[in-house]
Structure 1
C-alpha cells in the first residue's frame, strides 16, 4: 500500500508545500504552518466529484459517469475551484478480512495525485458505507468499529506522506438504525469521530497534523447535532480539526412542495439561521467549517424543478452569505452540472451566478419572467430589482442595447418595460419566449429576463392508468409552477397529505415538448379509489387551471 512518486510528494515536496497560501495566518506554536482556518479559507470554493468513487457498483462508472480523466481535474481547476471533494465508498472493494483491493486504492491514489498536482486541496472520506453498514453500529458495534478502523488504517497509511493539501473526512452523512435515541446516537457518533482521529494521528508523518474533517450526525446543522460535535472537538483538543455539515436549502423550496416556489423570506431565513448557527458554534471559536455538499435536492430529478430565476437568487445569496460567515462551500455535482467529457456546464447561467457569488454580489430581480398576453393588447410590466449594491448600466436584446426612456424606465428599484417596447419584442407573438433581455450592472453577472407570449393554458380530458397517465396540455407559452390536489370535501389528496401542493417531478411532471403533464404512480398510490380529485395547476403567469381525475382500481379518468 505504499504510494509511488507519481502519486505523492516527496518529503522535500511536502516541506516545500507547507506554505500553502502566501500571507495567511499561522497557528500559534507552529511557525511556517498555516492555521486550520487559513487552509479552509484557501479551499473556497470547492466542488464534489459525486457519483463516481462513491458509487456502490463495481467501479467508478457504475452510476453512469465516465471514468475520471486528468483533463477533468484540470477543467475543475480552470473553472476557478480551489478544492475538490472526492467521495469514496469502500465496502464493495474489501475482502473478507477488510483489506482494500490494491487496484482500487491505487486508482483513488492516482486521481488524488492528479488533483494535488493541479494545486487543488483534496478531501477524501468514507462515503456511502454510512448507509451500507456503518448505520448498523447499534446492533453490530464491534464488527462495524473493526471495519471502520481497518479502512482508515489502510487509507491513512496509503496517503501518510501526501501533501498537507489532502484532508481526510471521517464519514459521510452518518446515522444509526436501531439505537435507543439521541443519547446513544451521540455516543456512537463521538466514538466514530474519535476512532478516526486516533487512527490517523497514530499513523504518523504528515498525518500527525493533517487537517481532519469531522461531521455532525447526519451532517446536520441542527443545534443539538452541532452541540454534540462541539463536545467531541473540545475533548480532542486538536487545533487541526474542521467541522462539516451539508446544506440543501429549505426543504419545501429545495424540492418544490407545499407552495414554496420562490426564494422568499422564509427560504432566506432558513439559510441565514443555519449559516449563523455553524459560524457562531465553530468559526467564531476557532474551528473552521466546510459545507461539504450544497445544492438543491430537486436537482436529483431535474434542474427545472426550481424555476430558473428563483434558483439563481438562491445560489447568489448562498455564496454571498457564506463569504460573510467565513464558511467554505463545496458544490455537489453528481455529473449533472459539469459535463465530464466536454467540460461544458449544463446550465451556464447557473454556473456563472455561482462563480460570481464567490467574490461579489450580483443584482437580481423579483422575477426573470415577463409575460405578454397574446389575446389582449400589451400592457406596461414593472419588475422590482434587487440591486444588492449594484448599478444598472444597460439592458440588451442580444447585442442590441435598449434605449432608456423608450424601451425601459428605471425609477429607484422599479424597472418598467412599456407596452410599446414589449409589443416590439414579442414580434409576431408566437407562444413562448420571444426575447431574452440581459440587464447588465456595474458588478456581478447580468440578470436575464425572458419575455414570453402566453395565453391561458388549455387542458384536455384523457384516460389512462395509474402507472401511465398523461393529460394533454396546450401550455400556450406558460410554465407550470406547482399543482394542488384536493378531494371534494377540501381535504388534501395524494402523497404528503399535510399540504395540498404536491411535489414537483415526484407526483406530476410537465413536458413542454410533448404538450403533456404526467401524473405519476407515486401520486395515484395515495389517492382514494372512486374519490374524484380536483387538481389546480398554478402557472408562472399567475393563471390557474383546474382538472379532475378519478381512479378506479388501476384505471384513471381525467376531465378538463
Structure 2
C-alpha cells in the first residue's frame, strides 16, 4: 500500500511539473494577439419539430457531420485558417454545439469529436491559440421551435450537472495532451428560463424578480465551478490548462439604461481552482454605432472601466470573445459595413486598442471572410480585417489579405459536389454576383442520376422563381431540363438578363431540382471597376432568420441570422 501511494504521488508530481510549463492566464491574453471567430460552422444546429424535450431520446443526436454547413457556411479548411494567420491574427475561437451529436446518456458521437479535433488541428498547426467551447447547448429558446438544455436556473443545474460534467470530461480527456495554446470555454451565452438578455430576470413577466435573478446568477457560477472541476480531474495538461468562464449571457455590463446591467459582472463567482492564475472571464459586446463614434467611445470606456473594477484589477484576465456592431440599419436592411463604414472602422480601431491597453484579448465575430469566400479562401471584408490587425500591431506590413481580385475574377461557389433536391439545394450568396459587372456567368458542371424528371431550377434567395435565365444562350425561365444520359458529365454556362442580375445582387440564388448532381458551380466576370468590389448589397426586404433557420418578420430582442451573419437585437 505504501509503495502504491508513493507511485501515485510521483505520477501526480510529474503531471504537475508538466502542467507548470503552461503560461498563466494573464500572459496568455497578451500573447494571443488579435482573434477571430470561426462562426456558424461547428456550432450550427437544427432541431426537428416535436423534438424539444431533453428527457426524450429524440432531442439528442439529431445531426451528423453535415451540421457544420446547415447555416450556410462551408466546411472549415486548413487553407482558411492559414489565410487568417497570414493576415495577422493570433487566436481563433471555435464555437461547438454538442447536443445534436450526443445521445440521451451524454455520450458524444465519435465522428463528431474527431471532426472537432480536426478543426482544432487546423488552428494549432498554424501556431495560433484555439478556444473550443459548449456553445448552442445554451441560448434563447423559441417557443415550439427550439430548446436549449443548459440554463441559468438552479433546478436546471441540479438536473443537468452530471451530464454537463460528463460532457466536459469527454472533451477534456480527448484533448488532455494538447499544449497551452488550446483553451477550454465553459459555456456560451447561458440564459435564464425566461430567455433574458443583458441581465437575469430582464424578461420576467411583470417586473424584475430579485429571487429569480439571484437563482440564475448562482446557477451560472455553479456551472462554471463544475466545468473547472471536471476539466482538472482529467489530469495531463488539463491540470493547468487555461480555462474560460462566461458571465450571465456573456453580458459585458455596458450601458446605463438599467440599474441591473452590471449584475452579470458583479454576481459572477469566479471558480475556485487548484491551479493558480489559469482562469479568465469572457464577455461579448455588439454596440449600436448609429449615434456616432464619440458615443461609442464613451460606451467602450465605461464598459472597460467596469471590467477593470470587477475582474482585471483583481488579477483576473479577460477576453472579449465576440464583438462587432449591432449591424442593422433600420429601414434598409444593410449592415454597418455597408452604410457607415467610416464609423465602424473607427469603432473597431478604438475597441481593439482600448482592449489591448487593459490586456483584454479580442475575437471578432465571424465576418471578414464569410460564406463562399471561405472556399477560395479570400476576404470579402479585407479593409476591416486590416483595420483590426493594424489597431493591434500598429501596422499591416508583412501580412496578406487576398481578395476576389486575386482570383482573376473567378469565384468558386461550391465546396463539395451536391445532389440537389426540392427544398434542399445550393445557395449562392448575393455577394457572388454584386462583386462583378453585369456580364457575370454561372458555369455549372453536373451529372444526372436518373432518366426521368431531370430538373435544375433557379430561384432567388427568397425562393422566388427567376425568369430571365439563359442556359448556353437559350432562354429557360426558372427551369432547365437537361435531358442527359445517366453518368455523363455536362458543362453549361448560365447567364441572366439585367433585371434578374439586379435581383441576384440583392438576394442571391438558390439552385434546387431533382435527379441532378452539381459537381462544380463557378461565377465568373469582370470585377466591378471604379468602386470596391467588397461592398455587399444586402436584401432590401429586411429578411431575418432565427437560430433555427425560420424566417422572422418582426425580430425581437435576441440573436438572428441575416445573410449568414449573426445579428443581435438588444
Settle same-fold status: TM greater than 0.5: yes
- CA shift, 1:119, in A, is 1.2
Q: Structure 2 CA distance, aligned partners of 1:513 and 1:203?
A: 47
Give the counterpart of 2:217 among 163, 186, 194. Answer: 186
Q: Which has the higher contact order (CA 8 A, sep 6+)?
A: 2
> Which residue is equivalent to 2:166?
150
> Which residue is equivalent to 1:117?
125
- Aligned to 1:129, the other structure's residue is in SS state coil
- CA shift, 1:148, in A, is 1.2
- CA shift, 1:68, in A, is 1.2
- CA shift, 1:282, in A, is 2.1
- Aligned to 2:308, the other structure's residue is in SS state helix
Structure richer in strand, relative to its length: 1
**Aligned partners of 1:130 and 1:172 also within 8 Å:** yes
1:224 aligns with 2:286: no
Q: Structure 1 CA distance, aligned partners of 2:104 and 2:152?
A: 18
- Aligned to 1:164, the other structure's residue is in SS state coil
- CA shift, 1:285, in A, is 2.0
**Aligned partners of 1:336 and 1:346 also within 8 Å:** yes
Q: Structure 1 CA distance, aligned partners of 2:543 and 2:239?
A: 53
> Which residue is equivalent to 2:244?
213
Instruction: Give the direction of change, closer, same or farther, for the CA distance of 1:44–1:279 in structure 2 (3 Å limit).
Output: farther
Higher mean C-alpha displacement, 176-185 vs 271-280: 176-185
> Which residue is equivalent to 1:75?
83
Within 5 Å, give how 1:398-409 maps onto structure 2: none
Within 5 Å, give how 1:213-362 maps onto structure 2: 213-222=244-253, 223-229=262-268, 231-233=269-271, 238-249=276-287, 251=288, 253=289, 256=290, 260=291, 262-263=292-293, 265-298=294-327, 302-304=335-337, 306-333=339-366, 337=370, 339-360=373-394
Which stretches in structure 2 are left out of the alignment for 5+ residues?
A: 1-10, 47-62, 140-147, 195-200, 202-210, 254-261, 397-534, 545-550, 556-570
**Aligned partners of 1:337 and 1:346 also within 8 Å:** yes
Q: Structure 2 CA distance, aligned partners of 1:153 and 1:35?
A: 22
**Aligned partners of 1:279 and 1:289 also within 8 Å:** no
Instruction: Give the direction of change, closer, same or farther, for the CA distance of 1:303–1:209 in structure 2 (3 Å limit).
Output: same
Instruction: Give the direction of change, closer, same or farther, for the CA distance of 1:345–1:196 in structure 2 (3 Å limit).
Output: same
Instruction: Give the direction of change, closer, same or farther, for the CA distance of 1:66–1:56 in structure 2 (3 Å limit).
Output: same
Q: Structure 2 CA distance, aligned partners of 1:162 and 1:174?
A: 27
> What's the CA shift string for 1:36-74, capped at 9, x where partnerless?
211111012111110000001432111111111111121
Instruction: Give the direction of change, closer, same or farther, for the CA distance of 1:233–1:150 in structure 2 (3 Å limit).
Output: closer
- CA shift, 1:34, in A, is 2.4
**Aligned partners of 1:137 and 1:144 also within 8 Å:** no
- Aligned to 2:327, the other structure's residue is in SS state helix
> Which residue is equivalent to 1:86?
94
- Aligned to 1:84, the other structure's residue is in SS state strand
- CA shift, 1:213, in A, is 0.4
1:102 aligns with 2:110: yes
Q: Structure 2 CA distance, aligned partners of 1:133 and 1:240?
A: 28
Which stretches in structure 1 are left out of the alignment for 5+ residues?
A: 1-10, 19-29, 363-511, 527-560
- Normalised to the residue count of structure 1, the TM-score between the two structures is 0.56
- CA shift, 1:147, in A, is 2.2
> Which residue is equivalent to 1:126?
134
Instruction: Give the direction of change, closer, same or farther, for the CA distance of 1:146–1:348 in structure 2 (3 Å limit).
Output: same
> Which residue is equivalent to 2:233?
202
Q: Structure 1 CA distance, aligned partners of 2:395 and 2:354?
A: 10
**Aligned partners of 2:185 and 2:244 also within 8 Å:** yes
Q: Structure 2 CA distance, aligned partners of 1:72 and 1:520?
A: 28
**Aligned partners of 1:243 and 1:290 also within 8 Å:** yes
- Matched pairs, number: 344
Q: Structure 2 CA distance, aligned partners of 1:525 and 1:123?
A: 34
Q: Structure 1 CA distance, aligned partners of 2:554 and 2:97?
A: 34
- CA shift, 1:210, in A, is 0.4
> Which residue is equivalent to 2:187?
171
- CA shift, 1:142, in A, is 3.3
> Which residue is equivalent to 1:50?
39
- CA shift, 1:513, in A, is 11
**Aligned partners of 2:161 and 2:223 also within 8 Å:** yes
> What's the CA shift string for 1:143-171, capped at 9, x where partnerless?
32222112111101111111121100000
Q: Structure 1 CA distance, aligned partners of 2:358 and 2:74?
A: 36
Q: Structure 2 CA distance, aligned partners of 1:35 and 1:139?
A: 34
Tell which structure's C-alpha radius of gyration is larger. Answer: 1
- Normalised to the residue count of structure 2, the TM-score between the two structures is 0.55
Instruction: Give the direction of change, closer, same or farther, for the CA distance of 1:280–1:142 in structure 2 (3 Å limit).
Output: closer
- Aligned to 2:342, the other structure's residue is in SS state helix
- Aligned to 2:122, the other structure's residue is in SS state helix
> What's the CA shift string for 1:288-346, capped at 9, x where partnerless?
11111111121796354651111111111112211222211011106755831123221
Instruction: Give the direction of change, closer, same or farther, for the CA distance of 1:520–1:335 in structure 2 (3 Å limit).
Output: closer
- CA shift, 1:271, in A, is 0.8
Instruction: Give the direction of change, closer, same or farther, for the CA distance of 1:47–1:518 in structure 2 (3 Å limit).
Output: closer
- CA shift, 1:267, in A, is 1.7
Q: Structure 2 CA distance, aligned partners of 1:525 and 1:324?
A: 39
- Aligned to 1:134, the other structure's residue is in SS state coil
